[in-house]
Amino acid sequence: MIAKKKKFQESLKSPVQSSGLHTGLSKTVQIADLSSKPAKVFEMKHRVVPVPLLESSVSTKSGGKLEYALDRSLMGMTGGQILCEMLRRQKVDSIFGYPGGAILPVFDALHSCSHFRFVLPRHEQGAGHMAQGYARTSRKPGVVLTTSGPGATNLITPLQDALKDGTPLVVLTGEVPTYAMGTDAFQEADVIGITGPCTKWNTVVRDIRDLATQINDAFRIAMSGRPGPVLVALPKDVTSAVLEAPARLASTQCLPKLDNPILRSDALKANRSASIKRCADLINKAQRPVIYAGNGVLSCAEGPKVLAQLAETACIPVATSLLGIGCFDEHDPKSLQMLGMHGTAYANKAIQAADLVIALGARFDDRAIGDPDRFAPVAKAAGKDQRGGIIHFEIHPPHINKAIQCNEFVRGDVTASLTELLPHVRKVESRPQWMGQISEWKKTFPIKPTPPKQVTKISPECVIMLLSDLTEKLSKRTIITTGVGSHQMWAAQFFQWSVSRSLITSGGLGTMGFGLPAAIGAQVARPDAMVIDIDGDASLSMSIQEMAVAAELGINIKILVLNNNEQGMVTQWQALDYDKRYSHTHQRNPDFVKVADGMGIKAQRLDAVSDIANKLEWLIRSEGPALLEVKVDEKVPVLPWVTPGKALDEMIINASQIGTTRN
């Protein structure tokens, strides 16, 4: 185990070797992006010697000949080996996976392949969330490899989570042999049927000759347009077969992202430029504009910079969605922080009072906008006489005019669109009235912790605020992951976010159990970062077994579990809507410190207010993975709170409005 940990740690220090060409028994063609230096990758002992196929042209009907280049480098490899080679060509460095019968040929190929670090979770759902954490941190697709049947069905939640949050995943699952498919064979499930609704694209590779192309397609589709998850099922006879013919070079080369269709023709380009100019015109006319920035701004490294330029140029306040957090520096006085159900009162009020709402790479999720019919009434009215309105910059057409009818939209990557928009936006030095109103709201309705029931109780919000201060002083970058519940909302509200991609949380699906595996994936992608999972007791319990992975491989994550001994977010709803009938929302937790210790992770408990700073310091200074369990005050409401069906500015701001005492 120690050797495994050491090897993994070494792999985190230096990027895994990703150049070099297979030593195929057949002749190889030179492929542009492959190094000329051959590297021995697989043991060749049992490889069938292929019969070289020399044709590189086909006859056409008219008697002519079509010449095409052949890639012989994959000949003689098994499907499993080809898969490894294609992953290497896609510059994959980490794989999160779990073995099983149907995928063994691929695991066998991995055994003699030194190109990837491999992370073995304790449950396939963990692999999926780890890959999400990796993808969200690195902007590269997360790669998951599991067996058929239960190995695939255990991935449904991460697939759906990734689909909702636009996270690129390439999921490779074993499948029963092609001849057994449809026979209700052992560990056969209708994976293509089941995963259809929760993937961007899925396919079964039925012939080894299609394998390379379909792997390339998978990566291309995962990353094109709005990123998302794809699944490729790999029947065992395909991954065990040996490729005996060369492939067309074009099919084995990595493909660039698909073009934005909007840019394909001159007419479409002209249309888009015209809508960008109309948007600029509305921005130039607006008196009380506000930006609502989402995840799309983070999809491109330059996104936060162009957003800051727009906000600066036209003096526009910026609210973000939960997934947009980090795209705009919250230290900036123009920041309104998060909007929505648990957003700041000033963000929600600003949206409702604005004459122009500029939505950037955001999908108007119901948690962000409240009652859609009463969302942004002033902007909707201004839209009627073209003084303002709602404008939407969005890459994914189904998101446009789905929840909210906008006055103008610009399709395409939001960073590219904003770059085109900026030259048309007039400089506005200040907006004394509008910004004055906003600072008034900030003063009257600040985001502040609920006072604890007794002075001896630890306030969860204060713990997060202190953690934010302590990590801000670190020289390394901090990445926070979370579970789902009150702790997640407090993390969003009380951490001061300034760096893009520093919050990795399950937004659209709201998946408890996300935090720990996502932290592992984020740390694998950024071993130099301080990765902290701010978790809830119930959420952590859903993926607690993954602590063993961090311990085994020495993955340096920190777990801060805010233990209120309840499913706090749900008890908050039960207090308001169900007259405090707490039906099945209190569980008896294990001793988290002992569990962590048993798994090989250092752990401490914090239960005294006077120890908060010391113990947090201990957590972030400790070597290797560590857990701090904080016994926090119970029944602490997350406020503000826009309950379902209410407009954004109809918030519960004080605990007394929930109509319950906290005793």
- Residues in contact with Mg ion by the rule CB under 5 A: 536-537, 564, 568
The Cα–Cα gap between 540 and 560 comes to: 10
Find out whether 512 and 566 touch, Cβ atoms under 8 Å.
Answer: no
Q: Residues 6 or more apart from 400 whose CB is under 8 A from it?
A: 392, 394, 406, 409, 411
**Residue 392 near which of ligand TPP, Mg ion, none (CB within 5-8 Å, type-dependent):** none
Largest CA distance in the chain: 90
Closest distance of CB 156 from ligand TPP, Å = 12
**Residue 150 near which of ligand TPP, Mg ion, none (CB within 5-8 Å, type-dependent):** none
CA distances 149 to 128, 383, 588, Å, are 15, 52, 33
Nearer to Mg ion, 362 or 561 (CB): 561
Nearer to ligand TPP, 199 or 564 (CB): 564
Nearer to Mg ion, 355 or 537 (CB): 537
**Residue 539 near which of Mg ion, ligand TPP, none (CB within 5-8 Å, type-dependent):** ligand TPP
Catalytic residue from among 10, 30, 43, 186: 186
Active site residue 580: no
Nearer to ligand TPP, 74 or 542 (CB): 542
The Cα–Cα gap between 328 and 354 comes to: 19
CA distances 413 to 104, 254, 566, Å, are 40, 22, 41
**Residue 512 near which of ligand TPP, Mg ion, none (CB within 5-8 Å, type-dependent):** ligand TPP
CB atoms inside a 10 Å sphere around CB 556? 21
Question: Among 564, 554, 509, which Cα is nearest to 534's?
Answer: 564
**Residue 511 near which of ligand TPP, Mg ion, none (CB within 5-8 Å, type-dependent):** ligand TPP
Closest distance of CB 21 from ligand TPP, Å = 44
Residue 42: both structure tokens together: 């697989």
Nearer to ligand TPP, 410 or 512 (CB): 512
**Residue 484 near which of Mg ion, ligand TPP, none (CB within 5-8 Å, type-dependent):** ligand TPP
Residue that has been written with the tokens 């255990």 in this structure = 154
The Cα–Cα gap between 630 and 560 comes to: 7
Residue 125: both structure tokens together: 């759902």
Counting every residue written for the chain, the total comes to 663
Closest distance of CB 567 from Mg ion, Å = 6
Residue 183's Cβ-count burial label (10 Å; 0-12, 13-18, 19+) is exposed
Footprint of ligand TPP (CB under 6 A): 483-487, 510-512, 536-539, 562, 564, 566-570
**Residue 574 near which of Mg ion, ligand TPP, none (CB within 5-8 Å, type-dependent):** none
Question: Among 387, 389, 384, which Cα is nearest to 285's?
Answer: 387
The Cα–Cα gap between 216 and 593 comes to: 45
Find out whether 568 and 485 touch, Cβ atoms under 8 Å.
Answer: yes
CB atoms inside a 10 Å sphere around CB 659? 11
Closest distance of CB 507 from ligand TPP, Å = 11
Closest distance of CB 430 from ligand TPP, Å = 40
Active site residue 236: yes
Closest distance of CB 585 from Mg ion, Å = 9
Catalytic residue from among 569, 629, 634, 651: 569
CB atoms inside a 10 Å sphere around CB 446? 10
Find out whether 389 and 380 touch, Cβ atoms under 8 Å.
Answer: yes
The Cα–Cα gap between 564 and 607 comes to: 11
Helix (H) or strand (E) holding 357: strand 356-360
Nearer to ligand TPP, 230 or 627 (CB): 627
Active site residue 188: no
Find out whether 92 and 143 touch, Cβ atoms under 8 Å.
Answer: yes
The Cα–Cα gap between 338 and 346 comes to: 9
Intra-chain end-to-end CA distance of the chain, in Å: 48
Nearer to ligand TPP, 388 or 515 (CB): 515
Q: Residues 6 or more apart from 581 whose CB is under 8 A from it?
A: 574
Find out whether 492 and 548 touch, Cβ atoms under 8 Å.
Answer: no
Residue 143: both structure tokens together: 């790669």
Closest distance of CB 637 from ligand TPP, Å = 11
Closest distance of CB 589 from Mg ion, Å = 9
Residue 449: both structure tokens together: 């912790």
The Cα–Cα gap between 652 and 658 comes to: 7
Q: Could you give the residue ranges of the DSSP H alpha helices within 99-204? A: 104-111, 124-138, 150-153, 156-165, 191-195
Active site residue 569: yes
Closest distance of CB 346 from ligand TPP, Å = 24
Nearer to ligand TPP, 479 or 630 (CB): 630
Which residues make beta-bridge pairs with 275? Answer: none
Nearer to ligand TPP, 440 or 577 (CB): 577
Nearer to ligand TPP, 216 or 486 (CB): 486
3-state secondary structure of 121: coil
Q: What are phi and psi of 653, to 5 degrees?
A: -110, -30
Residue 154: both structure tokens together: 């255990």
Active site residue 186: yes
Helix (H) or strand (E) holding 171: strand 169-175
Nearer to ligand TPP, 166 or 568 (CB): 568
Closest distance of CB 619 from Mg ion, Å = 18
Cα 176 to the chain's mean position, in Å?
30
Closest distance of CB 74 from ligand TPP, Å = 41
Closest distance of CB 167 from ligand TPP, Å = 17
Nearer to Mg ion, 97 or 536 (CB): 536
Question: Among 73, 77, 93, which Cα is nearest to 33's?
Answer: 73
Show which residues are catalytic: 124, 186-187, 236, 569
